[in-house]
Amino acid sequence: MNNNKQLDLAAFRARIGGAKEYWRSLDELARADALDDAELDEVMFREFPRQAAPLATGVDRRNFMKLMGASMAFAGLAACNRPEQKIIPYTKQPEGLIPGRPLYFATAMTLGGVATGVLAESHMGRPTKIEGNPDHPSSLGATDAFTQASVLGLYDPDRSQVVRHLGEISTWSDFIAGIQPALQAAQKDGAGLRLLTQTITSPTLGAQIQQLLAQYPGMKWHQWEPVNRDNVREGRRMAFGGYVNTVYDFSKANVVVSLDSDFLGSGPGHLRYARDFMSRRRVRKGQTKEINRLYAIESGPSNSGSVADHRLAVRPSQIEGYARAIAAGLGLAAAGGTTEHAKWIATLVRDLQDNRGASVVVAGDEQPPAVHAIVHAINQTLGNVNTTVLVTDPIEAAPANQLESLRQLVTDMNAGKVKALIILGGNPVFDAPADFEFSHAMAKVPYRAHLSLYYDETSLLAHWHIPETHYLESWSDARAHDGVVSIVQPLIAPLYNGRSPHEVMGTLIGGLDQTPYETVRTYWKTKAPGLNFESEWKKWLHDGVAGSAPAPRFVGASTGIPAPAAAKQSSGYEIVLRHDPTIYDGRFANNGWLQELPKPHTKITWENAVLVSPKTAREIGMGDRQREELENERSTWLVELGYRGKTLRLPIWVVPGHPDGVLTVSFGYGREQGGRIAGGEAKFIENPYEHQIAGVNVYPIRFSDALHGAAGATIALLSSGYRIACTQEHQNIEAAGNRGIIRSASFEEYQKNPSFVRESGNEEERRIESMWPGHQYRQTDPDGPAKYAWAMSIDTSVCTGCNGCVIACQSENNIAIVGKDQVWREREMHWLRIDRYYKGSPENPETFHQPVPCMQCENAPCEPVCPVEATSHNQDGLNDMTYNRCVGTRYCSNNCPYKVRRFNFYHYSDFETPALKAMRNPDVTVRTRGVMEKCTYCVQRINAAKIAAEKDDRRVRDGGIVTACQQACPTEAIIFGDLNDPTSRVSQLKREPTNYGLLEELNTRPRTTYLAAIRNPNPEIKAD
Amino acid sequence: MAQIFHRSTNTISRVTIFGSVFIAGFILWVIGGIVRAPYATDQNVTRDQPVPFSHQHHVAGLGIDCRYCHTSVEESNFAGLPPTATCMNCHAQIWTNANMLEPVRASFASGKPLVWSRVHRLPQFVRFNHSIHVAKGIGCASCHGRIDRMALTYQAAPLTMEWCLSCHRAPENFVRPRGEVFNMAYEPANQEIDGPRLVKEYKIQKLTTCSTCHY
């Protein structure tokens, strides 16, 4: 293949006649250079490796006998009568429970200590699905991928199940007995007792810790959260003179400037922020007069940057220069501003000045405190503080500089001052900064106890390990991003003998017999002693929100700009350390759903890679010749990453829009004590990879003076042919870039020509003559049974690519994970994929996210090719997939132009593990080997709503059916409803001029359609 | 060279070829018969239960309504099996010493539930919702048979897909007035007229698309 013209965009543009083009990967861009037929065949063959031989290596005689033996045994079994099934009713049925119907309970999940309110669906006492709580300020009904996947975390069979003492199975009462000498010793001299926690916002736990501190005045409480937000806290302290919390109101902001902040994709309140931000970005005909504008200056691809109207990719160390330049532009006394992009910044500053009190500038968590202080000063100058930026009391029980807190602990441990260390949650042995040598210091402590969900790296080093309860198993409380309290209520008794932090604290304090429920309730009863506490408490539990958020403080930020720090020497590549977008800091490493979730930008699954820009890749020698050896983005080079005398071997990944000279790696992978999934056992079939463990541990190069990275890294290519499970080019729509799959325009262009989408597709090629009359969906008889025409509209303007919908779908529809090997073979089972398209030059392209579920075509190409009619149309226009009829020919998948069908090449679903059986949605069949499956529009929810409506003799109301993906979406990008109802939201959206379907020229008449992406670039800035 | 086969071989081969069609047809007919037979469908099989509960006695003898025990039949896909507490509503007062009821008392005392054997069983890829069938005027007896005459409960219908479709294709043959749904002994007076009328009145659809039951 002629890859010498790699990245030759000009030639590519010329070839396709300068048309607007969108592309998904650099290889695709390069491939667009003329290929002859043989080459095209080769590409197409590689494109569909899932059609390749299922066994990578041949089957030897022994395995053949084994497989055949098993088949014979099963064949024998099939002839016998079905085994008897048991029904086990209650002895006393709980009040309010209707067998077979789910109940919903409000609770809250914390991440980094901050709560997101959720409603947990419970089937006969088993939580099966997490949904957002519409009444909770951080959720408003939305959820992210972590929250959705937490239900799998609950049932994870690898969770720690027993108390362990020195690795041996022990008991809780032994732990209580064993801790007494340590406590008594601490009582005597007072100073030897140390508590290490993660960030805690729970008022009850905070009070318990304070009580313990009062009992042992010499005791110290340390906090450490690897996804560290010290910079944010310190920046606020510099600006406001003390620890505070800032809450943003993006719904009032016309202009938003993000300085390396992913406020739409991660961090406290990001779901709410995404909802608020995108509420100003929906373009509706005749209603939308103006939309907001986002400028992003960032050091790596983020969800926020991907929806920005203007984006600069710069080195992280340069961000401060930009912050200073903006501040200087606004008249603040800021020295040391950058001189680059002066015109760009001047325009941005003008835009901010035009929107005083209606703009927000946010800084990223990883940026140094000075940048945060500058940003607060900018917001103050612009009059945003107290309008779009609200200042409230800190939400943490005890805000602290966690890095210094941990450093203090390590120093004391090394000095032998620590006699007893109690660790509540967290995994510091794995995730503390490398230079602290935490495990080395911890080994010097004579008494070490660790409470955690897994028997992990830290537990191995602890004398006592206590299994922790999952948030769905125990009572607690926590604060949301704006400070409002939620009571965390359990849905199930602890599955694995877990203990909650409240119980451990109770033991330390001495109130042994108090359950977590009593602890939490008593705290709030003393906090809010009213006559009607009982009814208040019930309301809190019902609503999932206790009281209201703390009132804003109405203080001003200091407009003093900190002096620029002395320029550090910066040679070599700048390394950026980020938490992983799918497994966070490593705590979700054993969650198969999250491991297999394609990362929003790279679409890599099951591991981490070094992300570099195309230019940097060429610089380090990964030029055209080297890229030739990559097979269609399915393999890559291994590189050696050197940093401060340590080396790591990782795969490399070239990311368009990545800043040059920067190496981004995510930490959290490489868990040696993470469990079976983290340990690589989910590779089911065979494992041709170097790593037994999923991914590479990056914490060894995370140092306390450069938590988020610094300059001075080296990188060298090692070897090619490293197989990487990247879904970027899987399920490819042929020649998607030029077929109007993604359509976009600026708001200006849209106003001039609202129906621009008609001009960017090939719809006119559609041939509509047909000999077949087609299905009838209209309600012809007003007194007859209700007829529906279900449809979906997806707004690509507001999709941030957050992946919440993908996991929501996986959870709702019992979708199996397949393991890295099978993902590499393009056999991932996600019913909903998010395609990511680029437009423009690979240096800094525009990014678009497009969720692609089944299109539910009215003229579905999959249907006529099925030899057994396993896929057929129903009366509402749904394209049904009948698993029990499917014989696995895969013709339907071949004939699907959208490539949304998924085939069970193996027995992917786990039918053995008892815990996972309890997790499944009982309303959806668990599929076996040899069966095709695909998005059903959540037909189980449709049927449930239809049955409820029929019983009341009414139509299903608009909004009465919410699909799982729609429910999870923070930006309400996905809307589902009935086309027969002209007033339904989906009908209205389909009448928008920006509405278009994918490949409509094929006359498939897709029911899922899209709204074109409208961006709002500043006309004063010409795209470079 | 001499003939290898005798002339009669021609006839034999013709008969064999012609007959194979019938043989294949016969084999298919036998298989078709087996899968519909009680041997495969478990029709008419009574199962061992912890307590030999008699619907005949409780329904026909005592006149207890179906919904006294199967509480969720009008609200849920699952009709519901009574908790032990429901049994004890009466059996705390009557037959308090009966040996037969010992498992019930033990369950109530210990809180350990009774474990019943399922009689009506659908494959896991089939969804059936009791509440909508009841709401649309399908009587209990239409599927469950004359429960009021069963001393020990057994599956009266084959529960094959063919059997389900016999009603889904022609509901007018089976629908009854809503008031008669729980009446075991209901006999339609004039189904030819009442059936189509009720189908229209209850807005009953002939749902035979796959996702009605399979998802």
pLDDT in tens, A608-641: 999 999 889 888 887 765 565 555 567 788 899 9
> Of B197, B191, B90, B199, whose CA–CA distance to B137 is shortest?
B199
Q: Which residues pair with A879 in a beta bridge?
A: A873
Lowest mean pLDDT of A560-574, A934-948, B121-135, B139-153, name the range: A560-574
Residue A828 tokens, joined: 């991932």
Query: A774 vs A348, which has greater pLDDT?
Result: A348
- Over residues A580-590, the mean pLDDT reads 92
Distance CA B211, CA A609 (A): 42
Q: What is the pLDDT of residue A868?
A: 94
> Of A373, A334, A380, whose CA–CA distance to A357 is shortest?
A380
Helix, strand counts (H, E) of chain B: 10, 1
Q: Which residues pair with A902 in a beta bridge?
A: A933
For residue A51, pLDDT over 50 is answered with no
Please name the amino acid found at residue B61: G
- Over residues A936-963, the mean pLDDT reads 94
Q: What is the pLDDT of residue A413?
A: 92
Please name the amino acid found at residue A324: R
Which of A81, A88, A97, A98 to substitute to test the interface with B, most B CBs within 10 Å?
A: A98
Distance CA A463, CA A451 (A): 11
The DSSP H or E segment spanning A635 is strand A635-643
For residue A682, pLDDT over 70 is answered with no
Q: What is the pLDDT of residue A927?
A: 92
Residues comprising chain B, all counted = 215
Q: What is the pLDDT of residue A629?
A: 56
Residue ranges of B 25-84 with Cβ closer than 8 A to chain A: 42, 47, 71-72, 75-78, 80-84
> Of A129, A36, A710, whose CA–CA distance to A368 is shortest?
A710
Report residue A737's pLDDT band, with 50, 70 and 90 as the boundaries: low
B123 touches A at CB < 8 Å? yes
Q: Express each pLDDT in A694-719 by its tens digit.
A: 788 999 999 998 899 888 899 998 88
Phi, psi of A828 (to 5 degrees): -60, 150
Would the CB atoms of A100 and B214 count as touching at under 8 Å? Answer: no
Q: Express each pLDDT in A468-509 by its tens digit.
A: 999 999 999 999 999 999 999 999 999 988 999 999 999 888
Q: Express each pLDDT in A131-189 by its tens digit.
A: 999 999 999 999 999 999 999 999 998 899 999 999 899 999 999 888 888 788 776 66
Would the CB atoms of A940 and B127 count as touching at under 8 Å? Answer: yes
Q: To the nearest whole number, what is the mean pLDDT of chain A?
A: 86
Task: State the nearest Cα–Cα gap between A884 and chain B, in angstroms.
Answer: 7
For residue A367, pLDDT over 80 is answered with yes
CB A487 within 8 A of CB A520: yes
For residue A53, pLDDT over 50 is answered with no
What DSSP string describes A339-388?
-TTHHHHHHHHHHHHHTTTSEEEEE-TTS-HHHHHHHHHHHHHTT-BTTT
B204 touches A at CB < 8 Å? yes
Task: State the nearest Cα–Cα gap between B73 and chain A, in angstroms.
Answer: 9
Would the CB atoms of A882 and B121 count as touching at under 8 Å? Answer: no
Q: How many other C-beta atoms lie within 10 A of the C-beta of residue A308?
A: 24
What DSSP string describes B9-57?
HHHHHHHHHHHHHHHHHHHHHHHHHHHHSHHHH-TT-B---SS---HII
- Sign of CA pseudo-dihedral A988, A991, A997, A1003: positive
Q: A937 by DSSP, 3-state: which?
A: coil
Residues 6+ apart with CB under 8 A from A252: A358, A387, A388
Would the CB atoms of B113 and A89 count as touching at under 8 Å? Answer: yes
- CA end-to-end span of chain B, whole Å? 67
For residue A41, pLDDT over 60 is answered with no
Chain B partners within 8 Å of A945 (Cβ)? none
Q: Express each pLDDT in A513-554 by its tens digit.
A: 788 999 999 899 888 767 788 888 999 999 999 888 888 888
pTM for this entry: 0.90
For residue A683, pLDDT over 60 is answered with no
Report residue A3's pLDDT band, with 50, 70 and 90 as the boundaries: very low
Residue A904 tokens, joined: 């069970």
For residue A9, pLDDT over 50 is answered with no
ipTM of the complex: 0.91
Q: Which residues pair with A420 in a beta bridge?
A: A193, A447
Report residue A1001's pLDDT band, with 50, 70 and 90 as the boundaries: confident
What DSSP string describes A388-406?
TEEEE---SSS---HHHHH
Cα–chain center distance at B143: 5
Chain A partners within 8 Å of B71 (Cβ)? 98
Report residue A37's pLDDT band, with 50, 70 and 90 as the boundaries: very low
Q: Please identify which residue in the block is written with the tokens 């474990």.
A: B115
Distance CA A476, CA A490 (A): 9
Q: What is the pLDDT of residue A205?
A: 93
Distance CA A908, CA A814 (A): 11
Q: What is the pLDDT of residue A7?
A: 41
Residue A483 tokens, joined: 């400070």
* For chain A, percent of residues with pLDDT exceeding 90: 57
Q: What is the pLDDT of residue A781?
A: 83
Distance CA A525, CA A204 (A): 11
Q: What is the pLDDT of residue A63?
A: 56
**What is the radius of gyration, based on Cα positions, of chain A?**
28
Would the CB atoms of A925 and B125 count as touching at under 8 Å? Answer: yes
Please name the amino acid found at residue A527: K
- Sign of CA pseudo-dihedral A715, A721, A722, A725: positive
Distance CA A92, CA A150 (A): 30
Task: State the nearest Cα–Cα gap between B190 and chain A, in angstroms.
Answer: 23
Lowest mean pLDDT of A245-254, A328-337, B48-57, B143-152, name the range: A328-337
Q: What is the pLDDT of residue A599?
A: 93
Q: What is the pLDDT of residue A759?
A: 79
Chain B partners within 8 Å of A89 (Cβ)? 80-84, 113-114, 116
- Over residues A355-366, the mean pLDDT reads 92
Strands, E, within A655-796: which ranges? Answer: 662-667, 711-723, 744-746, 790-795
Would the CB atoms of A89 and B83 count as touching at under 8 Å? Answer: yes
Distance CA A106, CA A490 (A): 9
Would the CB atoms of B115 and A85 count as touching at under 8 Å? Answer: no
Chain A partners within 8 Å of B117 (Cβ)? 84-87
**Nearest 5°: CA angle at A281, between A279 and A283?**
110
Q: A837 by DSSP, 3-state: which?
A: strand
Among A84, A786, A880, the residue with its CB nearest the CB of B47 is A84
Would the CB atoms of A785 and B205 count as touching at under 8 Å? Answer: yes
**What is the radius of gyration, based on Cα positions, of chain B?**
25
Q: Express each pLDDT in A287-316 by its tens digit.
A: 888 899 999 999 988 999 999 999 999 999
Would the CB atoms of A87 and B111 count as touching at under 8 Å? Answer: no
For residue A773, pLDDT over 80 is answered with no
- CA end-to-end span of chain A, whole Å? 31
Chain B partners within 8 Å of A953 (Cβ)? 203
Would the CB atoms of A100 and B42 count as touching at under 8 Å? Answer: no
Give the CA distances from residue A40 to residues A2, A31, A44, A46, A459, in Å, rounded to whole numbers and listed in that order: 12, 9, 6, 10, 54
Q: Express each pLDDT in A873-910 by its tens digit.
A: 999 999 999 999 999 999 999 999 999 999 999 888 88
**Nearest 5°: CA angle at A196, between A195 and A199?**
125
Q: How many other C-beta atoms lie within 10 A of the C-beta of residue A822?
A: 24
For residue A688, pLDDT over 60 is answered with no
For residue A680, pLDDT over 70 is answered with no
> Of A678, A672, A501, A665, whose CA–CA distance to A588 is shortest?
A678
The DSSP H or E segment spanning A68 is helix A61-79
Q: Express each pLDDT in A858-869 by its tens digit.
A: 989 999 999 999
Question: According to the 3-state scheme, what is the secondary structure of A94-158?
Answer: CCCCCCCCCEEEEEEEEECCEEEEEEEEEECCEEEEEEECCCCCCCCCCCCHHHHHHHHHHHCCC
CB A678 within 8 A of CB A596: no
Q: How many other C-beta atoms lie within 10 A of the C-beta of residue A217?
A: 8
- Over residues B147-172, the mean pLDDT reads 93
Which DSSP category does B59 fall into?
I
Chain A partners within 8 Å of B123 (Cβ)? 884
Q: What is the pLDDT of residue A533?
A: 87
Chain A partners within 8 Å of B111 (Cβ)? 91-92
B164 touches A at CB < 8 Å? no
Chain B partners within 8 Å of A940 (Cβ)? 127, 215
For residue A693, pLDDT over 70 is answered with no
Distance CA A454, CA A671 (A): 12
Q: Give the residue on A whose Cα is nearest the Cα of B115.
A: A88
Q: Which residues pair with A132 in a beta bridge?
A: A118
Q: What is the pLDDT of residue A55?
A: 46
Q: A861 by DSSP, 3-state: which?
A: coil
Q: What residues of chain A have any CB closer than 8 angstroms to a CB in chain B? A: 81-82, 84-93, 98-101, 783-786, 872-875, 878, 880-885, 923-926, 936, 939-940, 943, 947, 950-951, 953
Lowest mean pLDDT of A648-657, A764-773, B140-149, name the range: A764-773
For residue A794, pLDDT over 70 is answered with yes
